[in-house]
A and B are shown apart, each in its own frame.
Chain A
Amino acid sequence: MSLHMRFIKFIAALTCTLGLLWQLSQPIPMGDKSIPPLGSFFNPFSGFWTNAEPAGQPGFKDISIPGLKEEVEIVYDDLMVPHIFAKNLEDAARAQGFITAQHRLWQMDITARKASGRLSEILGERTFKLDRLARRRGMVYAAENDLIGWKKSPATMQLLEAYTEGVNAWIKQSGPADWPIEFKLLNYTPELWTPLKAALVTEAMAETLCAWEDDLENTNTYAELGADAFNYLYPEWNPKQQAVVADTGQWLDIHPLLPPPFVASATNALGATEAPERDYLNDGPITGSNNWALSGAKTKSGKPILCNDPHLNLTLPSIWYQVQLHTPEMNTYGVSLPGVPGVVIGFNENIAWGVTNVSHDVADWYKIHWTGADRTRYKLDNEEKTVQFRYEEIKIKGKPIFRDTVRYTVFGPVTYDFDPENPLKDCALRWIAHDVPEQSAFDAFLGLDKGKSYEDYKNAIPGFDSPAQNFVFASKNGDIAIQPQGKYPVRGQQQGRFVQDGGSWMNAWHSFIPAALVPCMKNPSRGFVFSANQHSTPPSYPYYYLGNFEDWRSRRIYNRLSSMTQATVDSMKNMQMDNYSQRAADALPIMLRMLDASKLDAEGQSLLAEFKNWNYRYEPEMLAPTLFETWFDSCYATTWDEIAMLENQPNGKVPTDDLNRSKNAKISMVYPEAWRFIEILETDSSSVYFDHPTTPERETAKDIVQESFQKMQTYYREHPDKKVAYGQAKGFMLKHLGLIDAFSRLDLKIGGHRTAPNAMSQTNGPSWRMIVELGDQVQALGVFPGGQSGNPGSKYYDNMVDTWASGNYYELLFLKSAGENSPRILGRQKFTAK
């Protein structure tokens, strides 16, 4: 064979080989997603196979971590909860960072990425809109301001930097074989952690919890309906609600100077936003929480009990990570947010605390008066001001960098001016989470972590300003307390309810409610404190505030706690798992009374029979809650057809599918709250709103109830597959954070409803259930829907899900020392300085 021939053969083989290797190193496009490069993904030495953790007893190796001052000992229990024993706080934070990264690095990465508008770097164009909005809402700006505030506290920065270095120590020690599988699927590599990313994680929480506002919708609704109808349909106070802090006369002599009331004007409606799909039924926040504390007088043991169950988006990996932190000055156990040091909700040997969202509106829109078409200058009273530009660079995988300019006014960023169709295009966003914090939120949690008494609690929490939280508290020595803690603007009446005029500095937020007048309640005679995202106070509180408040869980919890005596940990479990809906209990009797059963056919009678013995509980095996949901929703939608017409039917046609809000809204409006709807149904059954504008007859509430029952009947005749038990109908699920179904838990057959204490909605619910009894030995129970590990290949990925779904708990192993023995200990590990 000639050299020439051999050369050709070699080149042919080389080309084939390189072609193959190239093929295997390329992601394979599949629609707008892609399959990862097969070579690295299937490589059994560093691809996805290495994420297949051994299912047997895990082993723990000692590790050296740079920067440690002294040796740290970690004890892992059978739920893979790390119990960190350090000789100082900095070492504890460093170890917490290292271990959290080891279990949850991808979750940390994607959370910070989403908040900072950097998803498109890895996901391409499909997340561009999300990224752009995150930037334009000032998320990075807010996180940068957090850092400016935190830097005022050396203790915070020390803690934060140690935690960050701990995370990075793990990243540096790890290789592709150790990286979470999501990095491999999405084909990118981990980045080092930074204090800014920790701030972004907290801002992501703020976005979830305190970015709510209805300014545009209220403005439109007021303009369309007029003052009388608006005031009739949208009262701000539900007389049946029980506030977080009761009026005991503490505000009698307080008469603060308030800004003048905001005068809503019936100016033209502004239009519709392309805002994220809102819930059709206006019924308070989906993201809410419960907490309560009972004094010893109410408990069987005579010791206080504290409970908390924050309702958040239920994802895998879980939003929370359990940890025990032990140093000479503290011994605390609870849940932490991956990416941020310390314990957020938890307890120590002396006290326990928990949080729920305060739900005040702390985000306002101001209409800016531009002086020119280039929108660089605007009028403020008699002055002309210049905007400040903030430049955002959005990297998009496979596309050129997108450069965006955001205009910042004295109120805040002009979010939507890139979109001439958007009714908020000339409006600036004033949001509390943009502010430089006066103190560090970490100092608040650190104060609680170390706290021993009510005084420590009172000293710790005023440092926390956003997102405002109802801090519930109980101590071993018998105190209980609650405080809706946050930074709240001093508002004129109705200020913040509507889009405001940004041409006058008068309308800005000028001051904040002083710390001494933030509502709080200690040891009330009734023997308990509680919150469930309802109003912070009764209307007698001297400051005006508004928000997205809850109306049902709080009443149920109040009623149960009021009548409870001899409470035990078991009765607390029973309350957290309570599927009783106050909304159903209020509405159904009225609806049944109005329904003329004699007009129903046999099919209708059989549906009606389902309600006869229903106890208003949303249990998974029941059919009644499925039917009630449809009937109630239909009643609601049929009543508010005139709003639907104004909102989305320019030609005056009533929407055909009552249960789905149109996505082609002409203007965005707000619907009356569910409690108000039920109140009108009961007390004003001939209200004009029950009349269909499109029919010659004058309908009343009775007709609406009858008609919507028929609609429900028709619906289930046409969709027999939907006429199933509630647990199946609802399709509860724990979605993987990257929306990968294979890593999710779909179709959980559980009960609960957002209007019941066990506040389940489809993808949202109790993200951590905790019960702490502060006896001589602290007894604590807890469970979250997930597991400690973020690795879908680990048995600790979702090992707590079934326990959680069945309403059971784990005893939380609260160790006194690293040497303490327990059959539940899996292993021990030492971190040593390098």
Chain B
Amino acid sequence: MKNTFLAALLILALGQLSHFGLPWWSLAIIAGLVAAWLCKSAWQAFVAGLLGGGILWMIAAWLLDSANGSVLSGKVGQLFQGASSMQLLLLTGFMGGLIAAFGALTGKLGKDMLVKPSRKGYLQEKRRR
């Protein structure tokens, strides 16, 4: 649980590197690396990605949207079948979450493929759940 939280936080933090011109799909790679490093299970990785990426994208968009008074999202919403600003924010968060979740999952499983997961860590995790 603690690791999931930590991984999500790290994805959220490192995902902001996108500010410096990284393409949007870099979020998947970042999440993958973080998950490979921190997450104890595939399930954990997926949740961490979903949370980290989702919150990151939603908050980043929300900050811009609220400073803008939702002027632009109101107009863009009309292009997406009349979606409201809130729906666009949720959609953005969902997309960020999905990208990071799948990235994290792949990262974790990739690591598992290369380094056999320790039985001990796996049991600990199981017990905790």
User: Which residues of A are interface residues toward B (Cβ below 8 A)?
Assistant: 1, 3, 6-7, 9-10, 13-14, 16-17, 20-21, 24-25, 35, 38-40, 42-56, 175-176, 181, 185, 740-743, 792-795
Q: Which of B47-106 contact A (CB under 8 A)?
A: 57, 60-61, 64-65, 67-69, 71-73, 75-80, 91-92, 95-96, 98-99, 102-103, 105-106
Number of A-B contacts (CB under 8 A): 128
B103 touches A9 (CB 8 A): no
A38 touches B95 (CB 8 A): yes
- Residues from chain B with a CB closer than 8 A to the CB of A16 are 102, 105-106
> Which of A38, A42, A45, A741 has the most B CB atoms < 10 Å from its CB?
A45
Main secondary structure of the interface of B (DSSP, over half): helix
Roughly how many angstroms separate A51 CA and B64 CA in the complex, as a whole number? 9
- Residues from chain B with a CB closer than 8 A to the CB of A14 are 106, 109-110
Q: How far, in Å, is A33 (CB) from chain B's closest CB? A: 10
Roughly how many angstroms separate A176 CA and B68 CA in the complex, as a whole number? 19
**CB<8 Å pairs between A and B, sample of 26:** A1-B117, A9-B42, A13-B105, A13-B110, A17-B102, A17-B103, A20-B98, A21-B28, A24-B24, A39-B24, A40-B23, A42-B92, A43-B24, A45-B18, A46-B24, A49-B65, A49-B73, A49-B92, A52-B67, A52-B72, A55-B67, A176-B21, A181-B76, A742-B75, A742-B79, A792-B71
A20 touches B113 (CB 8 A): no
Name A44's contact: one of B21, B64, B75 (CB within 8 Å). B64
> Which of A185, A743, A793 has the most B CB atoms < 10 Å from its CB?
A793
A9 touches B112 (CB 8 A): yes
Q: How far, in Å, is B77 (CB) from chain A's closest CB? A: 8
> Which of A13, A53, A54, A742 has the most B CB atoms < 10 Å from its CB?
A13
B102 touches A55 (CB 8 A): no
- Residues from chain A with a CB closer than 8 A to the CB of B16 are 45
B25 at the interface (CB under 8 A from A): yes
- Residues from chain B with a CB closer than 8 A to the CB of A47 are 24
- Residues from chain A with a CB closer than 8 A to the CB of B103 are 17
> Which of A16, A49, A793, A795 has the most B CB atoms < 10 Å from its CB?
A49
- Residues from chain B with a CB closer than 8 A to the CB of A25 are 25
- Residues from chain A with a CB closer than 8 A to the CB of B73 are 49, 52
Roughly how many angstroms separate A413 CA and B95 CA in the complex, as a whole number? 52
Roughly how many angstroms separate A1 CA and B21 CA in the complex, as a whole number? 40
Residue of B at shortest CB range from A17? B102
A42 touches B60 (CB 8 A): no
Q: How far, in Å, is A49 (CB) from chain B's closest CB? A: 5
Name A40's contact: one of B24, B92, B106 (CB within 8 Å). B24
Roughly how many angstroms separate A10 CA and B110 CA in the complex, as a whole number? 5
Name B71's contact: one of A38, A45, A793 (CB within 8 Å). A793
Q: Known A7-B113, A175-B21; judge A44-B92 contact (CB<8 A).
A: yes
Q: Known A6-B113, A13-B109; judge A52-B102 contact (CB<8 A).
A: no
Roughly how many angstroms separate A53 CA and B109 CA in the complex, as a whole number? 41
B91 touches A42 (CB 8 A): yes
Name B60's contact: one of A7, A44, A54 (CB within 8 Å). A44
Name B72's contact: one of A10, A35, A51 (CB within 8 Å). A51
Roughly how many angstroms separate A48 CA and B117 CA in the complex, as a whole number? 41
Give chain B's interface residue range (CB within 8 Å of chain A): 35 or more
Roughly how many angstroms separate A42 CA and B96 CA in the complex, as a whole number? 9
Roughly how many angstroms separate A24 CA and B24 CA in the complex, as a whole number? 10
Roughly how many angstroms separate A795 CA and B72 CA in the complex, as a whole number? 10
Roughly how many angstroms separate A52 CA and B88 CA in the complex, as a whole number? 13
- Residues from chain A with a CB closer than 8 A to the CB of B72 are 48-49, 51-53, 181, 792-793
B18 touches A10 (CB 8 A): no
Roughly how many angstroms separate A7 CA and B110 CA in the complex, as a whole number? 8
A45 touches B24 (CB 8 A): yes
- Residues from chain A with a CB closer than 8 A to the CB of B80 are 35
> Which of A6, A38, A175 has the most B CB atoms < 10 Å from its CB?
A6
Roughly how many angstroms separate A741 CA and B77 CA in the complex, as a whole number? 12
Residue of B at shortest CB range from A741? B78
Roughly how many angstroms separate A655 CA and B76 CA in the complex, as a whole number? 42
Roughly how many angstroms separate A45 CA and B26 CA in the complex, as a whole number? 12
Roughly how many angstroms separate A53 CA and B67 CA in the complex, as a whole number? 7
Q: How far, in Å, is A4 (CB) from chain B's closest CB? A: 10
Identify 17 new A-B residue pairs, CB closer than 8 A, beyond the known A7-B113, A742-B78: A3-B113, A3-B116, A10-B112, A13-B42, A17-B102, A20-B99, A42-B61, A44-B96, A45-B19, A48-B72, A49-B65, A49-B92, A52-B68, A55-B67, A181-B72, A742-B77, A795-B71
B19 touches A39 (CB 8 A): no
- Residues from chain B with a CB closer than 8 A to the CB of A45 are 16, 18-19, 22, 24, 60
Name B106's contact: one of A13, A53, A181 (CB within 8 Å). A13
Residue of B at shortest CB range from A40? B24
Roughly how many angstroms separate A741 CA and B57 CA in the complex, as a whole number? 27
Q: How far, in Å, is A370 (CB) from chain B's closest CB? A: 50
- Residues from chain A with a CB closer than 8 A to the CB of B117 are 1
Q: Known A38-B95, A55-B68, A793-B68; judge A20-B60 contact (CB<8 A).
A: no
The 10 tightest CB contacts between A and B, nearest first, are: A793-B72, A52-B68, A44-B60, A43-B24, A742-B78, A45-B18, A44-B61, A17-B102, A54-B67, A52-B72
- Residues from chain B with a CB closer than 8 A to the CB of A181 are 72, 76
Q: How far, in Å, is A245 (CB) from chain B's closest CB? A: 47
